[in-house]
Amino acid sequence: MLPGLATKAVRLQWKSQGLWFEPGDAVRYQGLGAGRVVRHVTRNFQGRNTTFAVIDFPHRDMTAQIPLGDPGFASKLRPVASASSVKRLLMVLREQGNKLPRTWDGRESYGVVCLREGSPAEWAELLRDYAEARKGGMSITASDADLVRAAIQLLAAEYCCAAEVEFEQAWSLVHGAYEKASL
């Protein structure tokens, strides 16, 4: 076997450790959101032949290549939540929210970390907190609006990949739930 090329046994081991995904698998990459593995490519990486998952991110209109079997990269790669889990997360928007930081820069710092490092549950909670703030009459700054849009986008991409629906349909579902919670 060439270095970096995985045998079937190695692929099964990596799959059990969450380090291997097949074409067609829906995955979430930390910081980029949900996408679908469209194919594998093998190329030289750090001096050896390495298999990469080529992932299409429908909400970003982009693809990325993530080296498989490399814990440093692959540890940020996870299966997406199920469609029913995402729908249940939208129910969080109906619950009482937490207070957001009072200053715009405090909200931005909190939101950016949540979106970059958080899970779908944390994105839904961020939306819930913004919906609660809107109901309470808080002014939404341009920065706040960007964070809300990004959270909607990440949850919609998660649902899009899990339910295998078009991104626009998933966006409408999540955005509609947020708008309804904001009234």
The pLDDT tens digits for 41-95 are 988 888 888 888 899 998 888 999 988 767 777 678 888 888 999 999 899 988 8
pLDDT at 12: 55
CB 54 within 8 A of CB 38: yes
Separation of alpha carbons 78 and 25, rounded Å: 10
Separation of alpha carbons 85 and 73, rounded Å: 25
pLDDT at 152: 96
CATH architecture assignment, domain 83-182: Up-down Bundle (1.20)
Q: Is 164 exposed, middle or buried (0-12, 13-18, 19+ CB in 10 A)?
A: exposed
Residue 21 has pLDDT above 90, yes or no: no
pLDDT at 5: 45
Helix axes 120-135, 104-117, angle to 10 degrees: 150
Query: How crowded is residue 178: how many other Cβ atoms within 10 Å of its Cβ?
Result: 22
What is the domain partition of the chain in residue ranges? 8-79, 83-182
Tokens of 174: 């999540």
pLDDT at 13: 55
Q: Scan for tokens 């609006």, then name that residue.
A: 145
Of residues 25, 45, 51, the one with CA closest to residue 36: 25
27 three-class SS: strand
State the pLDDT confidence band at 1, using cuts at 50, 70 and 90.
very low
- The pTM of the full predicted model, rounded to 2 decimals, is 0.82
Separation of alpha carbons 103 and 115, rounded Å: 18
**Has domain 8-79 been given CATH number 1.10.3720.10?**
no
pLDDT at 17: 54
